[in-house]
Amino acid sequence: MWDVHVRVLKPGRTATVWRQDTGAPLVQAFADQSSRVDVSLVLRSNELAGSLLMGLDDKPFLPAGHLRRLSITSAPEAPVAAVEVAMRQTMLTEIDHLEFDDPIEALHLADALVVRTVHGRQFARSIPSPYSAGLATPTFAYGVAMAEDDATRRGLVAWRGTHRQFTLLSRRSGQTDVIADYSARSSYDLAMGRDDLFAQVSSDGRRVTLFQKGLPLQFGTHDWEDAPDYGDFQRKGRAQP
């Protein structure tokens, strides 16, 4: 799971994230009125990327070899913009999955996993800590405020295609703005987490997969070299599920 945060961008500027090995776009996000971009990706199985590439504005995807040549030939006096990039990578290890007959429209994860289906039925499973496969048992959950999908809490969602692709929108003062356009699963999308576990609903809505969360890898904060010729790129190491 990747969390990418870009700060001090002029509202409306674009940040695009690709898989570095294939050039497949993962998300295109837009700076909001607070001058920030927040991206969260959950890359699993055949979606894994060896590394990520991020570019600002309308910069095209560049293969790794081209980027290496640019870094060698770039002028040392290139100006450094005030833009800051912070990244965090968290390893997710699948440890269990829970099946449901009806598609799930919302979930909550604390001491118990509580799900609500599209037909209004609510189910709860106890999720002790530490957790191992098979420990989830039916229980009662009273007084749980079932929030909508986390993406919905962050903004309006317009779904595209059949693979949980979505456009995240923000509506304020009568104006609707695009926050991000996701082509990959996000932790904003039918998912919840706690300190030790992360839970996400499958694309068909009938399975909740439980993941053990590893220790996050902090990549810190980096100034972005805002140079003219393809300078607006940032690449970060190995991607994990």
Q: Each residue of 86-138: pLDDT tens digit?
A: 888 888 999 999 999 999 988 999 999 999 999 989 999 999 999 999 999 99
Q: How far apart are CA 189 and CA 192, in angstroms?
A: 9
* Full-model pTM: 0.78
The pLDDT of residue 240 is: 40
Assigned CATH for 1-91+217-241: 2.60.40
Per-residue tokens: 222: 């980096």
Place 163 in a pLDDT band, splitting at 50, 70 and 90.
confident
Top-confidence residue, 67 or 140: 140
- Distances in Å between the Cα of 33 and the Cα atoms of 7, 12, 194, 232 are 11, 8, 29, 21
Note the pLDDT of residue 189. 86
Nearest alpha-carbon partner for 238 in 24, 88, 51: 51
User: In 10 A of CB 179, how many CB atoms?
Assistant: 21
Q: What is the CA radius of gyration of the chain?
A: 19
